Structure formats: structure tokens, C-alpha cells
Structure 1
């Protein structure tokens, strides 16, 4: 299979924005799934902020679900998505709005609460700026055929009216083209974020204490599957894979989503470790990489791995970016789209075996 992704450019959008806005002092507001305790989304935001810093005298405000988390990670002004009065006031004062990136419109949301949340999100992200006639730059989004049809039909007119629209994967571009929406295709906006060097990571106190270069080091990033049958199969095959390597390898679990409102990746990692302790009497070296690391350092630590088992979208992205071999396990169309675009086979949960994982990383 051919790596088509390497032919894509990274969109350095700051120059495009500077062309369209001549004021000396600009105000920007960024909407997205930020501060929601997902380090992949925070990598996207970090890249966008880094790019926006190329514009002199620009004031940035980020709107997200947990503004304190945004402030902690990115050191920028942040507002709660649910503080509608404050958000409206900031939109009114802003010169332009950025929406994205990431998979804002993707998986079908089955609960009514989730459905109405998406409607609210569309109203705040798109309708509110339109009311104040703001230029809207929709950058690096993913939109997929398994999204709720009502939500898709609601967002399409806003995407057509956007000042600029870019997507991050081939599936999204093809999907929108069928809906008569033109979108330019670039690499994920997380590619805008500079990564720490391997030398810097090795100076980090956590890795100085735990990293052993004489051993194999294997990264693992997993998501709890929706179906119980898939969850059991995933657990069984990952345990079998670890069983083949544990005597010569240390394992590093990357819980890129650590939101406490649901069964997050950190809980998946703990559950996996508990099962390992039951099955193997010998000591297994299993680290949970600290989620408090900045996105720049968290994903740069992939450079210490011989290979990565990547189920999370951005685990696959950063394994690829760091030129680390990886096995991509798909739980969603966004994962399949990226994994196949880099010339690899997207391993499917229903047919997954540890031998497939082994074959894909060797």
C-alpha cells in the first residue's frame, strides 16, 4: 500500500489570515473540543496557537468544555462553552473565529443528551459568529459518514459559507465532496505543534527514573470498544501479545483521553494491568505515562518506543510523525481513514489477533 499522507502539506494558515485582516491589533476566538482531557485534541490546539503566534499583536481566546484545563496546558485565556453570555460577548468583540480541528462531526451519538449537545455546539460554533458577521475559518476538521444525519445536514450550510474550510483526512474530503462542499486537504493540525527532542525527553525526571534503553520499549494506546464482544476480544489479543514480549520488553500505556465523566483510557490501562498481574507470575513492567505532561512532551516520548500499538487516532498520528513503527487498530472511520492513508492495514476489532499486531509492527 502507498503512503498518500506524506504528500500532503501542513497548512500554515497564519499567512492566509494576515492577508485577510489588515488591523494592527486583532482578536481571535477558537472553538473546539478543547480542555476536555484529550491530549490529541490538545495537540491540535497547541499547534493552532503556535501558528497564530506568528501574527503580531493577536489576542487569543479559547472556548472549550473545561477552560481551567485549557489555561493549565496552553497558558491562554479560556471560556466555558456553557457560559453563553460571555462567549457571545467575546464573539462580538473578535475579528475572526476559528473552528477546529479534530473530529467535531463524527460518531453517531445515541443518547438524547449527546444529540442536543451537538446541536448546541453547532449553534455556538457556527450560528453565533454568523449572527455577528464574523469570518469563520474551519480548519483541519474531520467529518465522517457515521455521523448523525440530522447533525450533518445542519452543519453543511455553515461549512459551505465558511471563509476557509480544510479537512484532515481523505475520507472527510470525499464525504464533503459528495455533499457539494469543497474542502482543501492538509495534514492534521497537530503537525503544526513542535515536539520536544528525544534528548529533552530523556532529561525528564519520569523517564530518567523508568526508561531502560537496554530493553525493548513498547507503547500501547487503547480505547474501550462500544460492544462487549469487541472489548473481550481486544483484551484477549493484547494480553496474548504482551505475553509474547513481557520477558524482554517494558510496556508504556498512553491514556490520551483521561476525562473522568466516562470509562476513559486510563481506566482501560488499569484494567489491562490488573489482568496482566493475574495471568503472569513474573513481574511485568507496565508504566502509565503521566497525562500531566504537555502534548509536546507526551507525544514526543513515542521516540523512545521500538513500536506502538495505536488505537487512538492521535497515537497513530504521532507514531507516524515520529517515524515509529505502529499497528493501527481501528474503532472508528477516522482511524481507518488515517491508517490506510499512510499505507498500512487498519486492523479491525471483530477479527483482531495478536499475530496481526505482531506482523504490523515488525
Structure 2
């Protein structure tokens, strides 16, 4: 039985990262049903329960070394692990885990990573040295490929694929309808979902989104639904925006599984999001999307589906947000058709990550 260890931002109640792990497990297990997977997690018990795999604590160095010694492959990813903009320390942690794997002779694959930005001379040199010691790199966008080139990462084979979540199967919308009904957010009105996050204590974007949300209710006759992707942090950010609105809105204030969130998103007419994986969920469920960018990963994903952000988080206004919302609203039928074609290719590329991982194990043996 082949054994894979997965390192990433798991066990921290971030819906996007949990969806990545769920998608990776789903696709790898489809290809190799007898695969043994162990996840390095911030909450091993939650990861075991949520995903049905083995897990060890991200702080238990002895346990990590033990599972790495037995592994045929360590996967680092997916997600934006190798950057130091959102956190200065996490880059060193994930690079450290890669070095531990190499120290015990275990091959490493960077799996559908979103690379960079990596700032600072020492961090960039370390990133280059460690990345050049892995066996294979797949990145989820061309921007990440350019970042690797700028870092002079040349030794391992590198392939542009797509975010792992894009390989996940769409789900039935009934679960989401039941959740909306419980919150009295069902009915004839079209639903526009908004997924937000806290960022650097900024207030301007919250005012802009609140004003735009009021206009959506008045102009489009829509119901506004705030959807948390990281619980409970996103609930608090959504509350601050909802409190600035003059029109009524609905705030989902519970933690949801990947399937539940996908189903909720599937019931929307349009999704507006700061969160990358909320946008990817919209792609999986073929729902038109409007992105607000706070990080290159948002721009990179939207570019992969032929779109641009409505605005940057620091400079967004109700006017430029509504301009994009109106355009998407009027053309949403055609957008669904176009997105279905684009997402079909991205799903194939997302599936390719798992094929390459298992091929790496086979070639090693």
C-alpha cells in the first residue's frame, strides 16, 4: 500500500483549505483506492473526523519525522503556502517540513501551489535552495510559474495545472436550499452571495460593499447572503458590513462542510468574493462571480477564467463594484455557458496533479 503525507494549512477551519484537502483525497483515492494518507494538521482529531484519514500535529516534530520515514511521497500543498505576505513565519515552517522530508529521503512534490510573493533576500534565497531539492512542482497558475522563474528554481520539472478544488465533483443543491430555508433566505427573490474577510483593519472596503449591497437589493430585487469561508473570523467581518447596510440581509453564522458550502453557492444567482476559494466554489457550481482582489492569487484565478477583478480591496468603491455586478447580472446566462467550457479544462488540469503524484511514486518504485 502506497503512503502519502500531506503538508498544508489544514485543521484551522478555513473552508478553502479544507476543500483543497477534500478534493486531493477524493481524486487521489479515485485513482488509487488503497492509498494510505496522513495529514499534518493543526487539529488532527478534526482532520481525522472530517476527512477520514490519519493525521499528526503540525507541532509534533517526532510524529512528523516518523510518518515521513514511512512515506513514499510527501505532498506540500495545495494553496498559497510558499509566500510571506499574509504571514512571515509560515513560509519557514512549510519549507522546514520539506527539508525534514528530504532529510529522511522522502521525495517531495509541491502540489498545485500558488507561489509567492516571497519578499526579502534571505527568504528568497532559502525558497530557491529548498524548492530546487524537490522532485516535482505543479503550480495552479502562470503567475506562480513566473515567480519560480524569478527565484531561479530550475532543477525539478515544473508544470502549470490548476487549483485542486477545481477537480472536486459538483454537489446537489438540495442541502444548500435546506440551509437557506432555515435562515428564511429562500423564496422567489434571486440570491446574491457575498464572501468577505478581515484584512489589515481596513474599513473602506466594508463601507463600499455595504453601499453596493444596498443597491443590489434596490436595483436588482436581490436577497443578500453573507457566506463565511473561515469560521468564525469571516462572520465578524460580515457582521460589520451588514451593520452598515440600510437594507435587510442574511448572515450565515455557522461553520459548514465543503459539500454544504458548495451546495449553498450552487443556489446563488451571483457570488461576490474576496476569498479565493469562494470564487472557485462558484466555478465548480457554475455560478457567475465577481472578485475583489487583495492578493495576486485572486487576479491569477480570475485571469484563468477570462475575467478581471472588479476592483482592488484598498481602492474598491460602491460604483466600480456595481459596474461589474450589473454587467455580470445582465449576462449571467451566457456567463454560465462560457464558464462551463473554461472550467472543464481547468478540472482536467486539477485532476492532472493527482496523476503526476501517483506517477512519481510509481517511478520511484
Give the TM interval when normalised to the shorter protein: 0.7 to 0.9
Moved more, 321-330 or 307-316: 321-330
Instruction: Quote the residue 2:260 is aligned against.
Output: 297
Q: Does 1:215 align with 2:189?
A: yes
Q: Which of the numbers 46, 50, 64 marks the counterpart of 1:73?
A: 50
With structure 2 as the length reference, what TM-score do the two structures score? 0.81
Q: Which of the numbers 232, 237, 240 marks the counterpart of 1:271?
A: 240
Q: Which of the numbers 7, 31, 39 marks the counterpart of 2:7?
A: 31
Structure 1 position 337, deviation (Å): 1.7
1:206-234 deviation per Cα after TM superposition (whole angstroms, max 9, x unaligned)? 233334241020100112222x5xx2221
Residues 198/130 of structure 1: CA separation in 2 closer, same or farther (3 Å cut):
same
Q: Kindly indicate whether structure 1 or structure 2 has the higher relative contact order, using CA contacts under 8 Å at least 6 residues apart.
A: 1
Runs of 4+ that moved beyond 6 A: none
Structure 1 position 121, deviation (Å): 3.0
Residues 146/97 of structure 1: CA separation in 2 closer, same or farther (3 Å cut):
closer
Instruction: Quote the residue 2:21 is aligned against.
Output: 45
Instruction: Quote the residue 2:176 is aligned against.
Output: 201
Instruction: Quote the residue 1:348 is aligned against.
Output: 312
- 8 Å CA contact 2:27–2:167 kept in 1: the answer is yes
What's the secondary structure of 2:36's corresponding residue?
A: strand
* Cα distance in structure 2, aligned partners of 1:313 and 1:73: 22
* Cα distance in structure 2, aligned partners of 1:122 and 1:68: 24
With structure 1 as the length reference, what TM-score do the two structures score? 0.81
Matches within 5 A, 1:1-362: 25-53=1-29, 54-108=31-85, 115-124=88-97, 126-181=98-153, 183-202=158-177, 204=178, 206-209=179-182, 210-226=184-200, 228=201, 231-246=202-217, 248-258=221-231, 264-276=233-245, 280=246, 284-288=248-252, 290-291=254-255, 293-346=256-309, 347-361=311-325, 362=329
Where do 5+ consecutive residues of structure 1 fail to align?
1-24
Task: Say what the alpha-carbon RMSD is for the aligned residues.
Answer: 2.1
Structure 1 position 31, deviation (Å): 0.6
* Cα distance in structure 2, aligned partners of 1:171 and 1:220: 26
1:225-258 deviation per Cα after TM superposition (whole angstroms, max 9, x unaligned)? 22x5xx2221221111122133532222121122
* Cα distance in structure 1, aligned partners of 2:126 and 2:267: 44
- 8 Å CA contact 1:99–1:138 kept in 2: the answer is yes
Q: Between Structure 1 and Structure 2, how many residues are aligned?
A: 318
Structure 1 position 339, deviation (Å): 2.0
* Cα distance in structure 2, aligned partners of 1:46 and 1:150: 34
